[in-house]
Amino acid sequence: MAYRSSFLLQIFANFLINTAEVLALFAMFYQFDSMGGWTLGEVALLHGMSMIAFSLGDMLTIGMDYVAPQIRSGEFDRVLTRPLSSWMNAVTSEINLRHLGQLIQGFLVLTFAFTQVNIDWSVTKVLMLIGAILTGVALFMALFTVEAIFSFWTVNGVEAINAFTYGGSDLAQFPMHVFGRTLRVLFIWIIPVAFVTYYPALYLLDKPDPLGMPGWFVLLGPVITAVFCGVVAWGWNQGIRHYRSTGS
Amino acid sequence: MRMYYELAKRSFQQQFAYRAATLAGLFTNSVFGVMLSSVYLALYWDKPENASVGGFTAEQAVTYTWIGQALIMPVIFWGWWLIIDTIRSGAVVMDMLKPMDYFRYWLSRDLGRGAAQVITRGIPTLIIGSILFDLVWPESWQRWVAFLISVPFAVTVSFCLRFMFNLWGFWLLDHRGISSLVILVTGVFSGHLLPINWYPPAIRDFINVLPFRSMMMTPVEIWLGQVSIARGLAMQVFWSAVMIGCCYLVLHFAERKVVVQGG
Amino acid sequence: MTMISVRDLRKTFPIKKHAGGFVGSLASLFRSEYEGEFEAVKGISFNIERGEMVGYIGPNGAGKSTTIKMLTGILVPTSGEATVAGMVPWETRKQLALKIGVVFGQRTQLWWDLALIESLELLKYMYRVPDDRFQHNLNTATELLGLEEFLRTPVRQLSLGQRMRGDLTAALLHDPEILYLDEPTIGLDIVAKAAIRDFLSELNRARQTTVLLTTHDLDDIEQLCPRIMVIDHGDVMYDGGLSDLKQRWGGRRQLIVDFASEPDVAISELTNGNLEVISIDGPRATIAFDRDSLSAPEVLSRAGAYGDIRDMSLQEPDIEDVIKRMYAGKIPAGV
């Protein structure tokens, strides 16, 4: 009983924290009519998709938060002795649904967005929405893994990765074309956050890409994400190898 | 007095030990600064040049963003639980045994920390911002000085808020609930999340009568010339005094609880 | 001159109740509820004179720390009176702080992130210690406790023994009249323990500092404290000399004898008035004996009659054991 109520409390707290983001969105559109030519409903669509993908990705990889302390305390050895892949072991060492609050909020924002924008629904559009969120979950899981990978080598400066995890999910909440070239290249081609929200949203809204990419470009999302995940998996294995050879 | 100065000095020096963390933090601040600046600029796309919305031109909004990023570490806009950690670990007992003023002890340490972070995080962030974007600078040297004076007051108000939240958390079984409240309150009410003028009038007027805008909005207004120096600083002094008074009140009750219940 | 005087000091604590359910835990964000109370100290009385070194002992949870917290002014008693250095501690905590030094073995008053010397300098300003006194006290401590090698090391990197020596120095910078020590040697190696004990004896001799020491270590008491007080369940059960206590309740040492093979069962016949064969476990026999009427070699030679002895070890009675026996009521408490 005590456990369950504390659990509900955490979700409530998580919901509260993320209220600020949503509040800021509405307040911006209270003063302004559009953001880079997009309406409140359209930007809310990006917000909702990003929040859902991020919270799911975060919840599924909570275990990654514990890799650094486990390495320091020596408990990581135990993770390696289990009969599963080291990554699965690390991930499953802790299950925590604390970001359920953000997930709920993501769904609320998405629902709000659907009431504001006209989407000409079709089977492919539904598949696109689901596919985009799944791509996003995979991408954020990989990003949280990156944070853990660094901790195999150093305890210093790991928080720079926050710029890509939290920064990536924040960035995905806004239309990609408002950002400068550097951020665009980074978040389209290297950490393909743009394929979690922006390109799928263009497709759902039947908008042409202001940046001039053809319609089929969105289909590259899973490919680039797969490449990114592959690199992360390679990095993870390097990290494990490093840990095994140095023990620290 | 000497002792509090020595405490602040040592907190100040200590901050320079974490070089890798400082660089990592600067990087993160900069990425967020660029991102938020781009978002704010996009809001002005369909406005005429130099249009002012809610008291901010596009350039001023970008400047606001970078001041916000620069103040993140010195002022601290989210949960900070060092005091509650000492209460939970029992280390607070050793602090209570010392012949010192408990509030001033922590405040002086926090001011020392803040001063160091103005140097390691604040100024470099603003320099990066000014390289990447066109920022608006204070129009006179008096405003520069006034801004520099306003930062320690911002830290003081922020510290008082954190101090009270820590002591409040001490009464509770679980401080996660208020920890999320802190983030919401400080983010919204300080003006760190969004310029306060952009909220609907009812919310804006409500926030404007609270002390928390001294943490961020008032320094920004002093910088941008949106408030007279005298008025801006007077507000900060007033709210610092009120907040310090509240801290002593809360401390009084907390001490009573400790001495009666043993913490 | 009486430094510490305690009359009928009592302290009870409320026991917190954990609210159930979601609504309950939401409510617990704003208030806590209480159910019942726990009596940690039950009306104790004693006097300690200037220059005395008193061992204050008892099992965990006996009320030792609570007493010390009241005598430092951190805790207000539920009822009763106390004066320390002429002051009522809980009414004059900050003034009293200038006259007392406190070392809690499990805690530190040093700052984790600062070098030891930096912490000591901060305390110098905090306690307004004049420069010459500071230098003198620091030099004395450096000499007797060997601080030199780690004076510039951050406290978080110090070993437990080093940290304890640092804490002891810190507690004495302002020449306190009274020193409270709570488990000052816990977890330390023999060398560190010896250094700290020598330092404390020297301090007491040179400055007439009054010391109240709580410990689990009988050797601490033995080497430092002519007088001890035993407390359990919030009551003072014994107040008097150490030798007296040992004679009455802690007089038995244990000799553990390992034979080459199982000893003759007749060994149990050794048991008489001042010797008892407690157990025989394979080749190992445990024999308890009265320290005043028998010597260890004597017991060993008697046991040798029952088998070929390979090895032996001697265990001194520990204070926990003494208190356990005392509490079990084997011998009536009180003097």
Residue with the bigger pLDDT between A155 and A237: it is A237
Check CB contact of C175 with chain B, cutoff 8 Å. Answer: no
Q: Residue B239 belongs to what domain range?
A: 2-261
> Closest approach of chain B CAs to the CA of C224, in angstroms?
25
Comparison of pLDDT for A100 and B74, the residue scoring more: B74
- Give residue B246's pLDDT: 97
**Among B28, B32, B200, whose Cβ lies nearest the Cβ of A159?**
B28
Does A1 reach chain C within 8 Å, measured CB to CB?
yes
DSSP at C177: S
Residue C19's SS3 state is coil
pLDDT of A75 over the 60 cut: yes
Residue in chain B lying closest to A172 (CA): B35
Q: Does A20 contact B21 at a Cβ distance shorter than 8 Å?
A: no
Residue C74's nearest CA partner among B90, A207, B4 is: B90
| A180 CB within 8 Å of a chain B CB | yes
Predicted pLDDT at A2: 46
Contact state of C32 with B260 under an 8 Å Cβ cutoff? no
**B3 interaction partners in chain C (CB closer than 8 Å):** 122, 125-126
Residues A72, A155: contact at Cβ < 8 Å? yes
Report H helices in chain B.
Answer: 2-14, 19-43, 58-75, 82-89, 92-96, 102-117, 123-132, 141-171, 176-189, 201-208, 217-224, 229-261
Which residue is closest to A12 within chain C, CA to CA? C26
Greater confidence (C114 vs A15) lies with: C114
Q: Is the pLDDT of residue C132 over 50?
A: yes
Judge whether C27 is closer than 8 Å to chain A, CB to CB.
no
Measured over the CA atoms of residue C327, residue C329, residue C331 and residue C333, the dihedral's sign is: positive
Q: Which of C17, C37, C75, C111 to mutate to probe the B interface, most B CBs <10 Å?
A: C75
How much of chain C, in percent, has pLDDT values that exceed 70? 87
In this prediction, residue C331 has a pLDDT band, given cuts at 50, 70 and 90, of very low
What structural domains does chain C harbor?
Answer: 2-11+43-247 (3.40.50.300), 252-316 (3.30.70)
Q: Which of C11, C16, C29 to mutate to test the interface with B (most CBs of B within 10 A)?
A: C29
Instruction: Convert the pLDDT of each residue in C157-206 to its tens digit.
Output: 998 889 999 999 999 999 999 999 988 888 788 888 888 899 999 999 99
Span C238-246, average pLDDT: 80
pLDDT at residue B222, as a whole number: 97
- Tally Cβ neighbours within 10 Å of residue C260: 11
Rounded to two decimals, the ipTM of the complex is: 0.89
Ranges of chain B with pLDDT below 70: 170-178, 260-263
Query: Could you read off the pLDDT of A105-139 as tens digits, one per residue?
Result: 999 999 999 999 999 999 999 999 999 999 999 99
pLDDT for res C19: 56
Return the SS3 of C172: helix
Q: What token pair was written down for C44?
A: 């104790």
Is C79 an 8 Å CB contact of chain B? Answer: no
Q: Is the pLDDT of residue C255 over 80?
A: yes
Q: How far apart are CA B213 and CA B195, in angstroms?
A: 10
Query: Are the C-beta atoms of residues C255 and C314 closer than 8 Å to each other?
Result: yes
Q: Where residue A99 falls among pLDDT bands split at 50, 70, 90?
A: confident
Question: Are the Cβ atoms of C13 and B258 closer than 8 angstroms?
Answer: no
* Predicted local confidence at residue C18, as pLDDT: 58
Instruction: Give the pLDDT score at C4.
Output: 94
**Hey, of C126, C134, C180, which one would you mutate to test binding to chain B, going by the most B CBs within 10 A of its CB?**
C126
- Give the number of domains in chain B: 1
CB spacing of A5 vs C21 below 8 angstroms: yes
Q: Which residue in B192, B186, B242 sits closest to B217, CA to CA?
A: B192
Q: Is B200 on the interface with C (CB under 8 A)?
A: no
Distance from CA of A9 to the nearest CA of C (A): 7
Q: CA-nearest residue of chain B to C118?
A: B10
**pLDDT for position A4:** 56
- With a pLDDT cut of 90, the percent of chain A lying above it is 52
pLDDT at C335: 36
CB contact under 8 A, A6 and B174: yes
Whether the CB of C282 is below 8 Å from some CB of chain A: the reply is no
**Continuous H helices in chain C:** 21-27, 64-72, 93-97, 116-126, 131-145, 160-172, 190-207, 218-224, 242-245, 296-304, 319-327
Residues in chain A with CB shorter than 8 Å from the CB of C21 are: 1, 5
Q: What is the pLDDT at residue C329?
A: 61
Long-range (24+ apart) CB contacts under 8 A made by B181-186 are B181/A16, B182/B78, B182/B79, B183/A16, B183/A17, B183/A20, B183/B77, B183/B78, B183/B79, B184/A16, B184/A17, B184/A19, B184/A20, B185/B161, B185/B212, B186/B77, B186/B78, B186/B158, B186/B161, B186/B212, B186/B215
| Chain A contact for B199 (CB, 8 A cutoff) | yes
Asked whether the beta carbons of C219 and C194 are under 8 A apart, the reply is no
Q: Is C22 on the interface with A (CB under 8 A)?
A: yes
Confidence of residue C88 (pLDDT cuts 50, 70, 90): very high
CB atoms A5 and C25 under 8 Å: yes
**Chain C interface includes A4 (CB < 8 A):** yes
Interface with A, mutate which of C17, C22, C23, C26 (most A CBs under 10 A)? C22
**Is residue A73 within a helix (H) or strand (E), and if so which, with residue range?**
helix A67-73
Q: What is the pLDDT of residue A1?
A: 37
Q: State the average pLDDT for chain A.
A: 87
Residues of chain A above pLDDT 70, percent: 94
Structure-token pair, residue A168: 């990536």
Q: What is the identity of the amino acid at C71?
A: L
- Chains in contact with A, counting 3 or more C-beta pairs less than 8 Å apart as contact: B, C
pLDDT for the residue C318: 64
Which of A136-150, A202-216, B115-129 shows the highest mean pLDDT? B115-129
- For chain C, list the contacting chains (3+ Cβ pairs, <8 Å): A, B
**Best of A28, A147, A198 to disrupt the B interface by mutation (most B CBs within 10 Å)?**
A28
What's residue B38's pLDDT?
96
**Subunit contact B97:C30, Cβ cutoff 8 A:** no
Span A28-47, pLDDT tens digits: 999 999 999 999 999 999 99
Q: Which of C39, A35, A223 is nearest to B40 (CA)?
A: A35
Residue B179 to residue A13, Cβ atoms within 8 A: yes
Contacts of A105 in chain B (CB under 8 A): none
Interface touch A6/C21, C-beta < 8 Å: no
**In degrees rounded to 5, what are phi and psi of residue C252?**
-95, 125
Q: Please answer yes or no on whether A167 and B31 come within 8 Å at the CB atom.
A: yes
Across C243-269, average pLDDT: 79
Sequence-distant (6+) residues with CB within 8 A of B179 are A13, B79, B81, B169
Q: How many residues are given for chain A?
A: 248
CB contact under 8 A, A157 and B53: no
The reported pLDDT for the residue numbered C217 is: 78
* pLDDT higher than threshold 50 for residue C333: no
Closest CB from C18, C20, C22 relative to A8: C22
Decide if pLDDT at C334 tops 50. Answer: no
Q: Which residue of A has its CA nearest to B193?
A: A24
B100 touches chain C (CB under 8 A): yes
pLDDT of residue B263: 47
User: Is C23 a residue whose pLDDT tops 80?
Assistant: no
Cross-chain Cβ contact A27/B194 below 8 Å: yes
CB C299 within 8 A of CB C216: no
Of the listed ranges A167-181, C82-96, C156-170, C290-304, the one predicted with least confidence: C290-304
Interchain contact, B90 vs C30, CB within 8 Å = no
CA angle C11, C15, C21 (to 5 degrees): 170
Within 8 A of B93 by CB-CB distance, chain C residues are 69, 74, 104, 107
Q: How far apart are CA A106 and CA A205, in angstroms?
A: 19
Which chain C residues have a beta carbon less than 8 Å from that of A6?
25
